[in-house]
């Protein structure tokens, strides 16, 4: 690899926009495949079996467990040593995230309350896609103060944490107690390693793989193994360091090691595999289907209103300070960006709906709501005055 190529590769990997752009391209390719002469091969590949699981299940249950591992590491870091390290820093993004999950879910249920097959999709518009939202924010550049970028990151991390809890509570199959009991034993072993501040990766990797297999067979969604493992990884510095590299906490080492793999490989693969909806039988009437309306309006309307109204009330009532240097219009623009729910919304849609028809309708709603939120949010932030 030439020096020029190395510099170009490093620039791409360090670009905040790159991950979002690659995810968009991968998802577009998935849509193209699903609506071309390659459609049969595309869907056959995803349904092909490997070790008793389809390729799609390996992507959604195994690769996404690594994604959730990274999210869990980021959440733990932010809560203990990052931008959510104090109560004062947590209160505004926590309140905004809670409202930003609740109102979209209520809007969805308004359209699907009496529909037993579609009502379980209420959490689909509840999540914010961190990579997309931060990627769009990065496109605005220096017009947005750093305080808003920190606020968006904190809000999106808390949002993901809430959605992870929702998946664990509401999107599990019938529990297999024996697997769950053994999983609890493994979690206790991981917790013991954490209490001893053990800094070697191998024991965590071995126990983490075992935990994933046990949770996969327990009826709880296997991706939660990634979050549980993340919360057992030490954030404290090693007691003894043999080199400068060893002086870094294991959590930070794992986060740095996983970041590019998740952003530039795992999430694009997920987008390619799950965005592929066939529009061959698409009709104008589908835009008014309760699933499409619920998800679209939940993401585009529910997210921005829930978050911005909460932020406005919290700041005006004195419960939280206004992000430094941010205008109200910029805060509204960031609230709108939170309606980009691509990755997590698609993921929940796959869990919530049994019928393939409803899964496809959910994807349409996610596409429309996320695109509207991205475009409108970007325009607000791009043209909003930078001073009140």
CATH number at residue 110: 1.20.1530.10
Q: Is residue 237 part of a domain?
A: no
Query: C-alpha distances in angstroms, 350 versus 4, 96, 171, 178, 273?
Result: 42, 26, 10, 26, 11
Give 326-331 contacts, CB < 8 A, sequence gap 24+: 326/144, 326/145, 326/147, 326/148, 326/151, 327/384, 327/385, 327/386, 327/387, 327/388, 328/388, 329/380, 329/384, 329/385, 330/144, 330/145, 330/148, 330/380, 330/381, 330/384, 330/386, 331/148
Range of the domain at 120: 87-172+284-387
Q: Is residue 11 part of a domain?
A: no
Inter-residue contact 250 to 93 (CB < 8 Å): no
Q: Is residue 381 part of a domain?
A: yes
**pLDDT at residue 231 greater than cutoff 60:** yes
Q: What is the pLDDT of residues 79-114, one digit of tens each?
A: 888 767 777 778 999 999 999 999 999 999 999 998
d(CA 134, CA 254) in angstroms, rounded, equals 21
**pLDDT at residue 14 greater than cutoff 70:** no
Q: Is residue 162 part of a domain?
A: yes
| Per-residue pLDDT at 245 | 56
Q: Is residue 136 part of a domain?
A: yes
| Per-residue pLDDT at 297 | 97
Q: What is the pLDDT of residues 301-312, one digit of tens each?
A: 999 999 999 999
Find the angle CA(58)-CA(62)-CA(68) to the nearest 5 degrees. Answer: 140
Q: Is residue 15 part of a domain?
A: no
d(CA 142, CA 10) in angstroms, rounded, equals 22
The residues, any chain, with a CB within 8 Å of residue 328's CB and separated by 6 or more, are 312, 388
Q: Is residue 14 part of a domain?
A: no
| Per-residue pLDDT at 16 | 57
Residue among 325, 253, 297 at smallest CA distance from 107: 297
Distance of CA 116 to the CA centre of its chain: 26
- DSSP letter (8 states) at residue 321: P
Calculate what percentage of the chain has a pLDDT beyond 70: 92
Cβ neighbours around 236 below 10 Å, total: 13
Q: Is residue 119 part of a domain?
A: yes
d(CA 47, CA 262) in angstroms, rounded, equals 23
Q: What is the pLDDT of residues 128-166, one digit of tens each?
A: 887 778 778 877 877 888 888 888 888 887 887 888 888
Element containing residue 49 per DSSP (H, E): strand 49-50
The b/e string for 24-39 (b: 16+ C-beta within 10 A; e otherwise) is: bebbebbbebbbeeee
Mean residue pLDDT across the chain: 87
Inter-residue contact 349 to 359 (CB < 8 Å): yes
- How many folded domains does the chain comprise? 1
């Amino acid at each position: 690899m030439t020096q020029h190529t190395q510099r170009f590769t490093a620039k791409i990997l360090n670009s905040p926009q790159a991950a979002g752009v690659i995810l968009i391209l991968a998802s577009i390719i998935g849509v193209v495949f699903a609506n071309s002469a390659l459609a049969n091969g595309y869907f056959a590949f995803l349904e092909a079996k490997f070790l008793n699981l389809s390729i799609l299940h390996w992507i959604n249950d195994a690769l996404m467990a690594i994604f959730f591992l990274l999210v869990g590491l980021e959440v733990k870091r932010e809560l203990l040593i990052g931008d959510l390290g104090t109560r004062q820093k947590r209160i505004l993004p926590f309140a905004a995230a809670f409202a930003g999950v609740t109102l979209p879910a209520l809007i969805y249920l308004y359209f699907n309350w009496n529909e037993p097959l579609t009502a379980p999709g209420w959490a689909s518009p509840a999540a914010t896609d961190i990579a997309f939202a931060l990627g769009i924010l990065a496109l605005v550049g220096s017009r947005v103060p750093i305080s808003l970028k920190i606020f968006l990151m904190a809000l999106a991390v808390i949002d993901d944490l809430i959605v992870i809890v929702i998946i664990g509570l509401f999107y599990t199959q019938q529990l297999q107690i024996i697997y769950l009991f053994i999983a609890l034993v493994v979690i206790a072993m991981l917790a013991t390693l954490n209490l001893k501040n053990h800094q070697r990766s191998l024991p965590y990797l071995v126990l983490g793989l075992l935990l994933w297999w046990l949770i996969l067979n327990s009826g709880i969604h296997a991706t939660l193994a990634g979050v549980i493992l993340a919360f057992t990884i030490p954030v404290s510095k090693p007691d003894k360091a043999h080199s400068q590299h060893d002086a870094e906490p294991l959590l930070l080492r794992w986060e740095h090691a996983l970041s590019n793999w998740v952003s530039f490989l795992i999430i694009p693969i997920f987008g390619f595999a799950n965005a592929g909806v066939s529009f061959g039988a698409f009709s104008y009437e589908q835009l008014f289907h309760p699933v499409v309306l619920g998800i679209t309006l939940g993401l585009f309307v529910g997210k921005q209103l829930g978050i911005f109204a909460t932020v406005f009330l919290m700041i005006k009532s004195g419960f939280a300070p206004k992000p430094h240097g941010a205008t109200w219009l910029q805060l509204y623009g960031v609230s709108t960006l939170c309606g980009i729910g691509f990755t997590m919304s698609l993921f929940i849609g796959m869990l919530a709906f049994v019928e393939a028809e409803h899964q496809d309708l959910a994807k349409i709603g996610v596409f429309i709501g996320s695109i509207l939120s991205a475009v409108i949010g970007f325009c607000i932030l791009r043209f909003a005055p930078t001073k009140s």
